[in-house]
Amino acid sequence: MAETYFTKDHEFIRVAGDVGVVGITDYAQKKLGDVVFVELPEPGLHVSKGAQVAVVESVKAASEIFAPVSGEVLEVNRELDAAPAKVNEDPLDAGWFLRLRIADTAELADLMDEAAYADFIASLD
């Protein structure tokens, strides 16, 4: 069963084994507004935890997306090229950004679980 972790920058990573699916949270997509463009990395790119891995543009702003953990980009969601609104419609499933082979699963310990993330966003509003 996959476990989902969250960052304070509102990225999520759903982990199964040593592979994680990365995207932005429902909270993030609501704050951004209508997403009009997503710039994704190329598969094969090695990223470090906290490094910029993608850019999402909305009618309000452009925001950098940061890697929640270090690893290699295995796949990107090319459906977002033609339908970036999937990020708004279903951010945790159809609106995912990339799949990442996790270099060090110990880095997951620095992320929040669902309950901690819910408390975190409650403290923001």
Fold for 3-124, please state it: OB fold (Dihydrolipoamide Acetyltransferase, E2P) (2.40.50)
Residue with tokens 């992320």, as numbered in its chain: 111
Q: Which pLDDT score is estimated for 1?
A: 63
Across the strands, what pairs with 62?
57
pLDDT along the chain (125 residues), means of 10: 92 97 97 96 97 96 96 98 97 97 97 97 90
Whether 4 contacts 12, CB under 8 Å: yes
Stated length of the chain: 125
| Residues 78, 28, 67, 112, CA torsion sign | negative
Answering whether pTM is above 0.75, one says yes
Query: For the chain, what are the domain ranges?
Result: 3-124
